[in-house]
A and B are shown apart, each in its own frame.
Chain A
Amino acid sequence: MKPDTTIAGRTQLRPALLVTVLALLLGLAGSFVAVVLAPTAAHASGGATASCTVDSSTACIQGSIRTSEQEPATGVVLDVTGPGGFEGTAEVDGTGRWALPVTEAGQYTVTLDTDSLPDGQFLTNAEQDERMVNATLGANAGVIFQLSETEGATTGGAQASSFNWDRAAQQLASGIRLGLLLALAAIGLSLIYGTTGLSSFSHGEQVTLGGLLAYVFANQLGMNIFVAATLTVIICAATGFLQDAAIWKPLRKKGLSLTQLMIVTIGLSIALQYAFQYFFGAATVRIQTANPSTVTIAGVTLTTQSYVAMGISIVVLVLTGLFLTKTRTGRATRAVSDNPALAAASGIDVDRIIRLVWVLAAGLAGLSGVMLGLVLNGVNWMTGLQILLLMFAAVTLGGLGTSFGALVGSLIIGVIVELTNLVLPGDFKYATALLILIVILLFRPQGIFGRAERIG
């Protein structure tokens, strides 16, 4: 805090920061309960470990099968036939791996039992559920099977009917999960837009930063995931503070136009993306290496992390909503969103509110990144890049600058993205959301909750 702060400014800011930090912390704390109550801890998932050791008289036919969400496809059965009437069966273990030792070199045929696939998962190129593999003694022979969550990638067989209610329910649940996590990040984007008019293209990188920091703390330094997440959120919020202090406030004072500011965020986004690649490489890193356990509620199977993440999201979103509607600072924030000049004239310190919005937005984006990394089983330099446009779609759909709109928009976009998979191949799931964005701009550019005079 600067020395020239007025008393009024202090008293306004303190409770504001307090509520923000409390909101984020409470969300995390609430989730402890959820984890304690969860029946299976993350490392308890079962299945015999695939074991096969290569030596001079043994070859291992082996592979790794993961679901389309990159979770281990535990329990998938593979039948192996080979020379000399060899027949064997391998089952995918809790780490997603399977292996079968054979003692004779030659060509083997590996067949994936499609009935053993997890619900909602389909073999890509199902007409080829057999793989030929040449096994050489003293070596591993790898076999690749790829799973897809879309049936479009499969042809023929019993799964030819493209729609069933179980899958719809599963996709709907995934959609709500994505929507809630998207909302955390999108609300920040919406608040920034509302208070400053800036479409921040670097907001996606704030999400990535959260995921990668959580990876450093939880995976590299071995911290408890909740400690790691708390630290991450605090650091991310601090980056928001620093950004506003070092970049955005001086630029506002300098009188840069919004277009220029937008291009500055694009430059920042490029710099951050490649900085992430510089330090973390281009590969996906996992925050938790243990295999996620799954819980089935009402026919919908999601990982434990997903339920916890959804719970945290709801708590944090509710707290953010309460903050914006019930506290003095929150109301001031909305006043600035409505009309900065009028807010300033009525004694609100607009710069302080904007600073607070940056802190809040960066913290929420970081939290979203941590949980996206856990739910999607990994995070890489383009995690945020991929969801940035979904965030824009959500914010525009709900109405630019309205927080409640951002929440509703996120849920709609999340559900649409996942439900698209029911009728179209997975490639199209983001494309549909973006198409909807364009259609909204065509017919109702102010979004669901926006007012018509917002646009020019």
Chain B
Amino acid sequence: MDYVIDLIRQLTGEALAPTTAAFALAAIGLNIHFGFTGLINMGQAAFLLVGAYGFAISLVNGLPLGLAVLIGLAAGLVFALILGVPTLKLRGDYLAIVTICAAEIIRMVGRSSILTDITGGSNGITGSSYRDPFTALSPLPDGQTTILWFTYDNNGVNGWWIRIVAWLLVALLCLIVFLLNRSPWGRVLKGIREDEDAVRSLGKNVFSYKMQALVFGGVIGSLAGIIYVLPSSVQPDALGRSTTFFIWTALLLGGAATVFGPVLGAILFFVVRLAIRTLAGDFIPASIMSNQQADQFSYVLVGIALMLLIIFRPQGILGNKKELSFSV
């Protein structure tokens, strides 16, 4: 019984971790691309990475926190514009290939030895070099706080302050997405998803709307990147292709084109993986499956889950099948 309680504590802790919130934000951004507009962005991790770089490099060079956040978000905006101009007029799978390539280019340039002075090369930028201004903003007193079974430092690296900010942002963006979804703007996006030509025949500038969606989702992705690196460090290789695919898994799991789907998906993605890792590590002897193999096993299941989801329940847990169109 103690074991079960302990496990539940671990799993709920993982569900509320800042990384989970960052993933949820990234999935919300991707949801605007894919769920609402039908854009197949396979480079969402790069939006996180440019956001994180813009934010961290600004702070390392002594800019104030607010400006650093703005620079991080602006980096996502510029990246979206650069991606969108050549590809948004092409068929969907071209956008997929271009975004995945552009994301790899960002990662490779970020980790290249030439830029070691700025980006830290493949070692990245350590969290301690940019975290302090954010921690200093905290209104919480120093020390530890326990709520239910969650005990964290108030202002620690992975503490209450970052958790509160991260989840408030998730809530705020859910609200924004909910409102936009009901706005005329959101209806045009869905129209583009359903039938681009029909929307065009109504006199709407489809390219412009697609670009707005790409930029908006990308900036949310950059915000996710900032949250993602605040409790850890900027690691170009941690925000590569796999991360993009995991964000997709989270989105499709929760349900694309829904408001809470991305959040639910991100939480489930981390919680289920931790559960698999923990259970496999505790109950399967190391001679059959080592701890490292248990981790890899959990990713194998992620891959299989993604395949099964998209085949049998493409609308995910919360989605509505009619709302989803994979038209390419």
Chain A contacts to B: CB under 8 angstroms: 152-153, 199, 251, 254, 256-260, 262-264, 266-275, 277-278, 385, 389, 392-393, 396, 425, 427-428, 430-431, 434-435, 437-438, 441-442, 445, 455-456
Which residues 193-207 in B have Cβ within 8 Å of A in the complex? none
Known contacts A257-B327, A438-B86, A455-B91; is A270 also within 8 Å of B303 by CB? yes
Q: Do B105 and A268 have beta carbons less than 8 Å apart?
A: no
The complex places the Cα of A237 from the Cα of B284 at a distance, in Å, of 34
Interchain nearest-CB distance for B100 vs A (Å): 7
Within 8 Å CB of A271, what residues of B? 299-304, 307
Which residues 79-107 in B have Cβ within 8 Å of A in the complex? 86-87, 90-94, 96-98, 100-102, 104-105
The complex places the Cα of A151 from the Cα of B265 at a distance, in Å, of 47
Which residues 102-155 in B have Cβ within 8 Å of A in the complex? 102, 104-105, 108-109, 111-114
18 additional A-B pairs beyond A263-B252, A263-B306, beta carbons within 8 Å, are A153-B113, A199-B97, A256-B310, A259-B92, A262-B96, A266-B248, A267-B249, A270-B300, A270-B303, A278-B293, A278-B300, A427-B109, A427-B111, A431-B109, A434-B102, A435-B101, A441-B86, A455-B94
| Chain B interface bracket (under 10, 10 to 19, 20 to 34, 35 or more) | 35 or more
The complex places the Cα of A292 from the Cα of B299 at a distance, in Å, of 36
Q: Do B307 and A260 have beta carbons less than 8 Å apart?
A: no
Known contacts A431-B108, A438-B86, A441-B98; is A456 also within 8 Å of B300 by CB? no
Within 8 Å CB of B100, what residues of A? 389
Q: Do A435 and B296 have beta carbons less than 8 Å apart?
A: no
The complex places the Cα of A389 from the Cα of B114 at a distance, in Å, of 23
Chain B contacts to A: CB under 8 angstroms: 40, 86-87, 90-94, 96-98, 100-102, 104-105, 108-109, 111-114, 241-242, 245, 248-249, 252, 293, 296-297, 299-311, 314, 326-328
Residue of A nearest to B86 (CB): A442
The complex places the Cα of A437 from the Cα of B296 at a distance, in Å, of 32
Within 8 Å CB of A456, what residues of B? 90-91
Within 8 Å CB of B113, what residues of A? 153, 425, 427
Within 8 Å CB of A259, what residues of B? 40, 92-93, 326-328
Within 8 Å CB of B249, what residues of A? 267
Residue in B92, B94, B248, B302 whose Cβ sees the most chain A Cβ within 10 Å: B94
Q: Do B326 and A260 have beta carbons less than 8 Å apart?
A: yes
Q: Do A445 and B310 have beta carbons less than 8 Å apart?
A: no
Within 8 Å CB of A445, what residues of B? 90, 94
The complex places the Cα of A313 from the Cα of B104 at a distance, in Å, of 28
Within 8 Å CB of A389, what residues of B? 100-101, 104
Known contacts A254-B311, A263-B310, A431-B105; is A152 also within 8 Å of B114 by CB? yes
Q: Do B86 and A199 have beta carbons less than 8 Å apart?
A: no
Q: Do B296 and A267 have beta carbons less than 8 Å apart?
A: no
The complex places the Cα of A445 from the Cα of B102 at a distance, in Å, of 16
The complex places the Cα of A356 from the Cα of B61 at a distance, in Å, of 58
Within 8 Å CB of A256, what residues of B? 310-311, 326
Interchain nearest-CB distance for B291 vs A (Å): 12
The complex places the Cα of A332 from the Cα of B155 at a distance, in Å, of 67
Within 8 Å CB of A385, what residues of B? 241
Known contacts A257-B328, A270-B245, A270-B299; is A264 also within 8 Å of B87 by CB? no
Known contacts A257-B327, A260-B310, A274-B297; is A428 also within 8 Å of B112 by CB? yes
Q: Do A268 and B307 have beta carbons less than 8 Å apart?
A: yes
The complex places the Cα of A168 from the Cα of B314 at a distance, in Å, of 50
Q: Do B112 and A272 have beta carbons less than 8 Å apart?
A: no
Residue in A153, A263, A271, A396 whose Cβ sees the most chain B Cβ within 10 Å: A263
The complex places the Cα of A442 from the Cα of B97 at a distance, in Å, of 12
The complex places the Cα of A278 from the Cα of B93 at a distance, in Å, of 31
Within 8 Å CB of A257, what residues of B? 326-328
A-B contact pairs, 21 of them (CB 8 A): A257-B328, A259-B92, A259-B328, A262-B328, A263-B248, A267-B249, A267-B310, A268-B307, A269-B245, A271-B300, A271-B301, A277-B296, A278-B296, A385-B241, A428-B109, A434-B104, A435-B105, A437-B98, A438-B98, A445-B94, A455-B91
Q: Do A266 and B306 have beta carbons less than 8 Å apart?
A: yes
Within 8 Å CB of A393, what residues of B? 101
Residue in B91, B92, B111, B306 whose Cβ sees the most chain A Cβ within 10 Å: B306
The complex places the Cα of A327 from the Cα of B86 at a distance, in Å, of 40
Within 8 Å CB of B302, what residues of A? 270-271, 274
Interchain nearest-CB distance for B90 vs A (Å): 6
Interchain nearest-CB distance for A428 vs B (Å): 6
The complex places the Cα of A428 from the Cα of B114 at a distance, in Å, of 10
Interchain nearest-CB distance for B297 vs A (Å): 6
Within 8 Å CB of A274, what residues of B? 296-297, 299-300, 302-303
Q: Do B87 and A441 have beta carbons less than 8 Å apart?
A: yes
